[in-house]
Amino acid sequence: MSSSPTFTAAIEKIVERTPETRSFFLRVANGRKLSFVPGQFLSFLLPIGGQTLTRAYTIASLPEEEECFEICLNQVDGGPGSSYLFSLQEGAVLCFSGPWGSFVLDQLLDTEYIFIADRVGVVPFRPMIARLLTASGHHTARLLYAAPQAGDLLYAAEWQRWEGQCAHFSFQPLTDQCEPEKYSIEKVLLPYIEQHFVKEARQPSRQFYICGIGRPVLLLRDLLRGAGYERQAVKYEKW
Ligand SMILES: Cc1cc2nc3c(=O)[nH]c(=O)nc-3n(C[C@H](O)[C@H](O)[C@H](O)COP(=O)(O)OP(=O)(O)OC[C@H]3O[C@@H](n4cnc5c(N)ncnc54)[C@H](O)[C@@H]3O)c2cc1C
């Protein structure tokens, strides 16, 4: 990574989105402005156990939302970074560098954009899809969003509202109504992608963006690339 300014920001508000997932709304100190592109992340420097651990969190808000910006994360069992953040109260101060990352929308094409999200991996797609829906052009966007249960789908009301308002956006929730420990990308996402984008209706011009947790993200990537979609047309971010 090249050098980037380090910022400090205070936690202005904490919102519990599900019992395990929280949004933190952060206000950058000294009136400094954070410029970023939808899809980028920040590297937080967390003072834990006498060390500084670095953890990446994607910006969930839009660049236009000037007052505060949002990160959204879930508490990972035994995870030091997420547990530390979950222990903080409003008013606490955080340090971070960034923005970083190239998992962003390139120049918009007149084509179909397919966003494939696994659980909290939907975060980068919130600002990306918002940007896409307000941009001029002849593109469409589809969000395929998988989680164990309907109550785990983050920003669900917002996706449904956007779908009602924008004829060129559709939202496909994919849930298994299962316990979190029984959920897997292989069970919920892979068969759907195989059926709808590999076996049927292959359109080479489609652009795919995949974001989720762990190695199964690579299975989705390989499934689509193996089906003949261009390497550059299948972008992914694995957390
Ligand atoms: C570019 C990038 C952007 C990211 N953006 C976000 C974000 O917006 N929101 C967010 O919640 N996390 C995000 N992460 C993950 C985050 O950086 C941490 O890895 C996560 O919070 C776990 O850190 P930890 O110290 O608690 O656990 P660790 O002990 O570091 O545990 C890491 C393990 O947890 C897995 N893991 C990573 N993220 C998650 C998760 N969210 N849920 C369950 N398991 C996970 C990893 O695959 C790894 O096996 C991002 C990661 C990257 C690389």
Tell me the average pLDDT across 159-186: 92
Write down the pLDDT at residue 201.
64
CB 93 within 8 A of CB 8: yes
- 3-state secondary structure at position 14: strand
Spatial distance between the Cα atoms of 192 and 219, rounded to a whole number of angstroms: 13
* Exposure letters 37-57 (e unless 16+ CB within 10 A, then b): bbbbbbbbebeeeeeeeebbb
Write down the pLDDT at residue 3.
61
- 3-state secondary structure at position 6: strand
Ligand 1 atom index nearest CA of 101:
1
Question: Ligand 1: does its nearest atom lie under 6 Å from the Cβ of 104?
Answer: no
- Residue partners of 135: CB distance under 8 A and separation at least 6: 108
Side by side, the strands of the sheet bearing 6-18 are 51-58, 41-48, 93-100, 6-18, 21-28, 69-74
Write down the pLDDT at residue 199.
84
Write down the pLDDT at residue 112.
96
Does 38 or 176 have the greater pLDDT score?
38
Write down the pLDDT at residue 33.
83
Residue 105 is assigned to a structural domain of this protein: no
Q: Are residues 153 and 182 in the same domain?
A: yes
Percentage of the chain modeled with pLDDT above 90: 83
Write down the pLDDT at residue 106.
83
Residue closest via CA to ligand 1's atom 5 equals 57
Residue closest via CA to ligand 1's atom 51 equals 239
Q: Which of 52, 68, 100 is the last residue of a domain?
A: 100
- Interval between CA 12 and ligand 1 midpoint (Å): 22
- Interval between CA 204 and ligand 1 midpoint (Å): 32
Residue 66 is assigned to a structural domain of this protein: yes
CATH of the domain at 129: 3.40.50.80
Q: Are residues 125 and 64 in the same domain?
A: no
- Nearest partner of 189 among 231, 220, 153, judged by Cα: 220
- Domain hosting 158: range is 112-238
Which of 69, 76, 217, 238 best tests ligand 1's pocket when mutated (most atoms within 8 Å of CB)? 76
Q: Are residues 123 and 231 in the same domain?
A: yes
Residue closest via CA to ligand 1's atom 53 equals 239
Q: Are residues 128 and 190 in the same domain?
A: yes
Q: Which of 40, 74, 100 is the last residue of a domain?
A: 100
Q: Are residues 117 and 155 in the same domain?
A: yes
- Nearest partner of 142 among 196, 222, 199, judged by Cα: 196
For 159, what's the count of Cα atoms within 13 Å in the CB-facing half-sphere?
20
Percentage of the chain modeled with pLDDT above 70: 98
CATH of the domain at 89: 2.40.30.10
Write down the pLDDT at residue 224.
96
Write down the pLDDT at residue 32.
85
Inform me whether the pLDDT recorded for 2 exceeds 60. no
Question: Ligand 1: does its nearest atom lie under 6 Å from the Cβ of 133?
Answer: no
Where helices occur in 61-101 by DSSP H, the ranges are 80-86
Spatial distance between the Cα atoms of 126 and 229, rounded to a whole number of angstroms: 24
